Amino acid sequence: MRNILLIGAVAAATFATAAQAQDTTDRAPFSGIYVGASGGYDVQPNDVGSSILFDRGSNGSFGDTVSTAAGANAFSPGFCNGRAVGATPLPGSCRNDKDGWSYYGRVGFDTQRGNIVVGALGEFGKTEITDSVSAFSTTPANYVMTRDVKWEASIRARAGYAAGTTLFYGTFGPGYANIDRSFTSTNTANSFAQFGKRKQFGIVGGGGVEQKLGENFSIGMEYTYHQYQDDDARVRVSQGTAAANNPFILPAGGATTDFRRSDDKFRWHSLRATAAFRF
């Protein structure tokens, strides 16, 4: 959060200086094609209550209880909305999700009529955020499902109001992301396999301010919210070297158990500085 406040303060000071120095003779300063880049800091909402759901028998019905041979809940130690760093849920045994920097390239086109500006932009880049959820079994052992963004692309509409050489705008459109997933466990007896579609559609929306610097250059500050449906990731547990009556195998033996996250939406907030060259 301190990184976001610092970026905002620097941008505000830059806008004030640029507005004083700007040549205002251009009657449509925001018309035309532009290319540029953006970079900033991304923050995830706190996924309180996140857990892992179980499907015994891998029949597509999640919400099952994984029971020990004695009939007890094998995951009674519970869950944490982060990355487990130990086999038991002791204080400090779960790391928070990782926020991080983001960097994108963009190309767009705007048309200005009077004070009204409408256009579209395409963007492609990457964010360094990482989102995990962990389960703890009575073995004891941990089971950690993690996701991050390999790359993200979006095509968004843009509309706003130009006050001289300063543009205030909103933006919204579809996004498409390659969500990278990983799984780790301190359980070395069972076998684990990941599957599920990695590329997902979503939405990206927000708003910002852009300031012209001379005839061709502009800088800005932009906030966007990103949301992707991510309910397709699975981890399938099979027997491996474990006994045939271990908690993940049905009494008949030879079956499997599937894992999936309870939080099926991957969401984050971005605050980025922007720069563009207008042709």
- Specify burial of residue 113 (Cβ count, 10 A radius: 0-12, 13-18, 19+): exposed
Mean pLDDT of the 37-48 span: 91
Would you say 106 and 38 are in contact if contact means Cβ atoms under 8 Å apart? yes
- 197-254 pLDDT, tens digit per residue, is 899 999 999 999 999 999 999 999 999 999 999 888 999 999 999 988 889 987 655 5
- Of 23-27, 113-117, 263-267, 268-272, the least confident: 23-27
Contacts of 129 (CB under 8 A, 6+ apart): 42, 43, 44, 97, 98, 99, 100, 102, 148, 149, 268
For the chain, the domain total comes to: 1
Q: What is the pLDDT of residue 69?
A: 84
The DSSP secondary structure of 175-191, one letter per residue, reads: EEEEEEEEEEES--SSE
* 18, pLDDT greater than 80: no
- 241-253 pLDDT, tens digit per residue, is 998 888 998 765 5
**31 token code pair:** 């018309």
- Specify burial of residue 244 (Cβ count, 10 A radius: 0-12, 13-18, 19+): exposed
**129 token code pair:** 């955020």
72: amino acid identity, one letter: A
What letter would DSSP give residue 165? T
* 139, pLDDT greater than 50: yes
b/e 167-178 (16+ beta carbons within 10 angstroms → b): bebebbbebbbe
CATH of the domain at 227: 2.40.160.20
Contacts of 27 (CB under 8 A, 6+ apart): none
Question: Domain limits at 206?
Answer: 2-278
- 65-103 pLDDT, tens digit per residue, is 999 888 899 999 999 999 999 999 998 889 999 999 999
Q: What is the pLDDT of residue 161?
A: 98
* 191, pLDDT greater than 70: yes
Considering the chain, what is the average pLDDT of its residues? 89
Q: What is the pLDDT of residue 92?
A: 86
Q: pTM for the complete prediction?
A: 0.86
